Structure 1
């Protein structure tokens, strides 16, 4: 796609990167066939190809409008289109650039600004954990809309105390420890059963994804730098063999640190190394199978598995969780119809675009329920919370189901 950048963007980092991405697009339209919002709305401008044209117009000097902003907002950033694209267009990076440039020129309505500020500040705030605990305590009294965002409390259980020669860094992130501490504890116990110790960093926090996708890319980069500062000494000293993420959304963001901080001379090299050292928990599972097989007593009944977009399309990881759990005796099944489509969670999308998010959730749950499962598994806290709000079936991280199947240590 030929692009004639306006003088405003010529020679800028955003302009150079966007132009390189746009040049790969050949207008084929394959992306529209797998775009969730295009499937729902049928509007070219609510599909990747249409949004690419809108971003191209902005880069060429056309003034964006509120409509431009709305069409970009409706994108889930699921990156399904990247998996479909035969030309390798990095749409996720392009839409990040486009949103930044549009938001610089189009003021948002006051209500939207307030909602976005509350999300980016509230989800990262020290008060989030006690607020979530209070919400869980009175969950039965909450309005349905708010109740859906507050998962029922589940006991985390004991954290393993054994030390092992093999160690991995397990960042806890921002919302997961408050919303579902059982995921981190289950991860530590499963890794412990395989002879791997989980080391929790004493500093750092949110991976930066929340701020990055809520008009605060500068704040997100600061969070990325803080995490690198917290993790780097352990990596550099060889005290941990990898950084392990058990939330696929966070893992996708951390694996992109090298790209996000490529222009920061002080952090570029460290960021690339952090990205290189990061593994989704599912990447470890195939190697864990022989270490765990004797201790796992898989439950009876079907577990329906929803692979998150951040795992399938963001990290390009497919099949590892499925094959690993099946090798351990689980009857894990993936819906054959539209397993590639987003469930509608997409970080804060389910809060900012509730109507579209609900339609996508019901569509996803319809496919999963046709498997007649006893339970549902996924690999990201956002997907788990969003799906649970629409079904009576228990929805858990796959590592929680695996942890529950471990027999006691002899």
Structure 2
């Protein structure tokens, strides 16, 4: 295992109020040019980024605990990725794989066949975003099975296209007044241990009984599920929930689609989160961490499913862009050489030690959960399990004022999510956790 090399100093440094004057000036220009519908979590404008830091236009160096929503696991300017992008761009930036194909696309497909769970024969198609990947996975499942109904779950997030909005559970801001949505999508109860207190197999049986009673197994084309839910609150289903669903799907001829857009590529301590319970999806949807920050997505599935689609049925002008493919090949090699799945487990051990202390001492902390470098703190009103989104927002704002970027999420908006770059140093991560702890302790402790 080699060590990560950084171009920028890996230290937090706040030299202005946040946002600083240059960020404020850019915000004014943005307001005149960009619709308010396109929101940003942090009002600081980026000039540079490397490893675990983001440097803004005012010279502040901020600790990045968001990784661009789990994208820059290898860092935002990893030298191997930068070199691969530059080399490919010097030759050609685009030809469209559907017109004149190129080796990079094939190499990525070969790599994903080897990397994803299962030894069965696989095929891969490349796209641009996680939503595109999920939507195309559903297309494949419907065509291959000849069925139409799709099962999604409470608290799910799958994207912002019409079909993936229908799959997504949360109304605001993702679905409000954007309908009507794609039909034949049905929502079932998710395993949410903190709130339903059900063992995994029991929670799975609850969902299965509803599917069979309301839909009929023979009408269901696919189950689409995140092995650990992302935007819904980093919900980790109880052990046994996912395997029971997968077994039922196999027995009923239902395609099991694992949405690993946020969980994939070493984020949870394995290459893919479904590996933790030995699940082999029929189709796996990927994006985010795949290409070191370049836009790329993929679906890898059983050959008999993928090959069922007629010629020309999958594709897109920019899908599998050659520069993005070069970035993916370099990023995956970095993940291997640095053993980033192991690094994610190291991050888990370091962070969970702190989170467990917070849970024991702070009555605003209702639950801590996650896996690898995908960890969360669910905040509640003291003495209850009532969500406290106002506390999550206040803590994130206070952390930002001290130079730490942390994201919120959850169906109730009350979850702090920790998604540091996998190459972050222990020292920088510890500093970021110190800042978060100070912000949280402002809301009281257990007697």
TM-score (norm 1): 0.28
More helix by share: 1
Q: Normalised by the size of structure 2, how large is the TM-score?
A: 0.27
Higher strand proportion (structure 1 or 2): 2
Higher relative contact order (CA 8 A, sep 6+): 2
